[in-house]
Structure 1
Amino acid sequence: MKKTIHIVAGGPGELIPELSEYQEENIVWIGVDKGVQTIFHAGLQPGLAVGDFDSIKEEELERIERQVPSLRRFKPEKDETDMELAIMWALEMNPSAVKIFGGTGGRLDHFMANALMLGKFKRDHSGINFELIDVQNNLSVHLPGSHEIKRDGEKKFISFIPIFSDVYGLTLQGFKYPLKHHHVAKGSSLCISNELIQETGHFSFEKGILMMIRSKD
């Protein structure tokens, strides 16, 4: 059975859901910089710590060195972000899914980089599900084809956002505001805050990369 990789970054703690609720078999936890401490505080065991750790106190770093099986420390001056390095390591394990926590809130540049990075990795690794999760939102990225979506009573608002380019042939079935073979331009607000009106819906499109965000108020 393939592993699922859960990556925890150092975003605001109030936006990170209860991580223990996401603990299952075949889960590997990766802590990115301060995210290692978040994993520890949730009573979970990180398998890897990644980052420059410039925001970690010396005694905290000593604990990480003692208790985390694998530590990859980098200089702050580097081409990749700590998150990108963590995802690259995760992909070496050939996972079925990569879920990111602590990647929203705080600095807007970090959030935008994380969200767009998922699109890049999804494009290059189509068989892996990539998701960015916080207490209010689930963000995922999808390639052309047909996709099923189930109703979520908590995060009922669903938005579709083209990234990198326009999306062609978008069809929404089972939604409050359906579409049929629609061309959605990058930057369009057409597909914001839709809702399912059935227990299961479907969306499909022919060309482009589509970001889906499921949110609650």
Structure 2
Amino acid sequence: MIKIIHIVAGGPEKLVPDLSEYQDENIIWVGVDKGVQMIIGAGLRPDIAVGDFDSILEDEWKRIERLVPSLRKFKPEKDETDMELAIMWALEMNPTSVRIFGGTGGRLDHFMANALMLGKYKQENPNVTFELIDVQNILSVHLPGGYDVKGDEERKFISFIPIFSDVYGLTLKGFKYPLNNHHVPTGSSLCISNELIHETGHFSFEKGILMMIRSKD
């Protein structure tokens, strides 16, 4: 059975897409701290709320207690961020896909931690699809192998960024700037802002972890 978990954090609301467009009967909604209020504000029902909720006012907390069937409240002094606690809970549910909203913009340290966490948990859960989504970008992480990429007129710019280590054997087919069995060092800007020239492209690599970002201007 397909199980998709949507995690909504408390990032800037202007960067969060219309969550109602991502609703489906198979979706499990997880609110992280203030993110639970974004879910409720979109007319959706959170299944669980996770975090220390140190930024939630007392009357807001009473509303959350009334509307959210499951609450996991932690002390502010802890080793994991609220987001990581939410991801850890999500993975206990054996999902096929984890999508994160409200995890970009605002504090740069939170964004970097969220993006790099996807790489960490992808290594530990290779069969789970991880995405970080905002109004302008979709970020995903990939392990060695081959992948098809469908065209998207809205987010036509595609970038590939090695994380944690260099990427080896990167091949891009159907792209404006193709590559063949290329070594891409960590920190390289070689694969920034590429585009598809056909309806479908393909990328593959042999070693490393690759972050793909699909963006619109």
Q: TM-score, normalised by structure 2?
A: 0.99
Residue 111 of structure 2 corresponds to residue 111 of structure 1: yes
Q: Percent identity?
A: 79
Task: Return the alpha-carbon distance in structure 2 between the equivalents of residues 184 and 24 of structure 1.
Answer: 38
Secondary structure, counterpart of 1:122 in structure 2:
helix
Shift of 1:84: 0.2
**In proportion to residue count, which structure has more strand?**
1
1:182-215 CA-to-partner distances (Å, cap 9, x unmatched) read 0000000000000000000000000000000000
Counterpart CA distance in 2 for 1:157 and 1:118 is: 21
Q: Bigger CA drift: 204-213 or 65-74?
A: 65-74
Mapped to 1, the partners of 2:74 and 2:2 lie a distance apart of 28
Q: Which runs of 4+ in 1 moved over 3 A?
A: none
CA distance in 2, matches of 1:91, 1:186: 28
Map 1:83-94 to 2 at 5 A. Answer: 83-94=83-94
Contact 1:170 1:180 in 2 (8 A): yes
Alignment of 1:11-22 (within 5 A): 11-22=11-22
Q: Counterpart amino acid of 1:22?
A: Y
Aligned length: 217
Q: Distance in 1 between matches of 2:6 and 2:70?
A: 15
Cα RMSD for the two superposed structures: 0.4
How far off is 1:2 after superposition? Answer: 2.5
Contact kept, 8 Å, 1:155 with 1:216, in 2: the verdict is: yes
Gap regions ≥5 residues in structure 1: none
Find the counterpart in structure 2 of residue 155 from structure 1: 155
Within the alignment, does 1:49 sit opposite 2:49 as a pair?
Answer: yes
CA distance in 1 between counterparts of 2:160 and 2:136 reads 16
User: Per-residue displacement from partner, 1:129-178 (whole Å, max 9, x unpaired)?
Assistant: 00000000000000000001000000000000000000000000000000
Superposition TM-score, scaled by structure 1 size? 0.99
Alignment of 1:7-156 (within 5 A): 7-156=7-156
Q: Deviations over 1:2-42 (max 9, x none)?
A: 21000000000100000000001210000000000000000
Counterpart CA distance in 2 for 1:43 and 1:167 is 42
What is the CA distance between 1:56 and its match in structure 2?
0.5
Give the distance between the partners of 1:161 and 1:143, measured in 2 at CA: 12
Counterpart-to-counterpart distance in 1, 2:34 and 2:129 = 24
Q: Which runs of 5+ in 2 are unaligned?
A: none
